[in-house]
Amino acid sequence: MRLLHKIGLGLSLSAAVLTGAVHAQQQQFVNVLTGGQSGVYYPMGVALSQIFGKDIPNARATAQVTKASAENLNLLQAGRGELAFTLADSLSDAWKGDAEAGFPKPLDKLRGLSATYNNYIQIVANADSGIKTLADLKGKRISVGAAKSGTELNARAIFKAAGLSYADMAKVEYLPFGESVELMKNRQLDATLQSAGLGVASIRDLATAVKIVVIPVPADVVTKVGDAAYQVSVIPANTYSGQTADVPTAAIPNFLVTHSGVSDDVAYRMTKAMYDNIDTLYAAHNAAKAIKRENAIKGMPVPLHPGAERYYKEVGLIK
């Protein structure tokens, strides 16, 4: 009797292990690579992970804090994520293999999923720093984002076009948005350059704590960058507390990117789930309201994933 009990127990355990193994095989991991928690990528990534968790069968969806564009693209190439946010110029540099931008070899596994919204170059200074123009940044202390992040690559491009270099500054810090703002509040920095969606939490926070000046990036400087990803634009008046007028700047498109190792079915489901639940994304951050399905494949610097392509054909965006 005891032997039969042991056999029965053994069979039950084997069945449980087998069931667990099958369940593990069926589970689909969807890791969304974002950026710093005080930026725009992160709240959007959290919203997407929640959408995927509900809409993709057996999905275990997460949003990962990262240093944004460049790190995200390198992680995707290594298969350490299924979806990532990135700036257009970083994506183009990654596809070509631009060593100076942090991509020693072309990242050939990258595949496009959708265009999203524009980042705006937002250079903000403490009002008492005396900084009113790009030229006034000479001899000042500034943070330009994490080293070789999309923001930092934008900073290099804008400063070069304006005839400036990091050597002209008294101090250059390579810090995420939130840390940059804390140093500005403590008067340890004079300015910060943040490439993000309009109304980014970090600058909103700064503008409520100290009086700020948003520094213009003139149209001729944007043109001198010489990259089609950089578009002449404006930060509308009253985007931030104390900013009472439109401020000219550069806008750069953002994209959602996956990789060739992600199955066509999962890429299709991610694309469909995002657009089926676009209101959830809009609620995550005001910048998301610029995401329109009709713009999804405009300017994509890498090949579209076949799964995403299937969705766009289904909805008539691709004939």
The Cα 50–Cα 38 span in angstroms is 19
**All residues at 6 or more sequence positions from 200 whose CB lies less than 8 Å from its CB, including other chains:** 38, 39, 40, 122, 177, 194, 287
**Domain 27-116+254-314 classification at class level:** alpha beta
CATH of range 119-252; options 3.40.190.10, 3.20.20.70, 3.10.20.30, 3.40.50.2000: 3.40.190.10
Q: Percentage of the chain with pLDDT > 90?
A: 88
The CB density around residue 147, as the number of other CB atoms within 10 Å, is 12
The Cα 295–Cα 221 span in angstroms is 26
Residue type, 55: D
Span 85-144, pLDDT tens digits? 999 999 999 999 999 888 999 999 999 999 999 999 999 999 999 999 999 999 999 999
pLDDT above 50: residue 18:
no
What's the whole-number mean pLDDT along residues 305-312? Answer: 98
CA nearest 222: which of 235, 238, 236, 233? 233
The Cα 143–Cα 141 span in angstroms is 7
- Supply the pLDDT for residue 25: 53
pLDDT above 80: residue 292:
yes
Split at pLDDT 50, 70, 90, the class of 147 is confident
Span 151-160, pLDDT tens digits? 999 999 999 9
pLDDT above 50: residue 288:
yes
Provide the whole-model pTM: 0.86
Helices and strands, number each (H, E), in the chain: 11, 10
- Secondary structure E strands in the chain: 28-33, 59-64, 83-87, 110-126, 141-143, 171-173, 191-196, 212-215, 231-235, 247-259
| Secondary structure class of 301 (helix, strand, coil) | coil
- Supply the pLDDT for residue 26: 75
Per residue, the 3-state secondary structure of 162-228, as one string, reads CCCCHHHCCEEECCCHHHHHHHHHCCCCCEEEEEECCCCHHHHHHHHHCCEEEECCCHHHHHHCCCC
Q: Which two tokens stand for residue 243?
A: 């900013």
**What are the start and end residues of each CATH 3.40.190.10 domain in the chain?**
27-116+254-314, 119-252
Split at pLDDT 50, 70, 90, the class of 148 is confident
Residue type, 215: I
Q: Which residue has the tokens 């903000």?
A: 124
- Supply the pLDDT for residue 76: 98
Q: Please state the φ and ψ torsions of residue 242, each to the nearest 5 degrees.
A: 90, -5
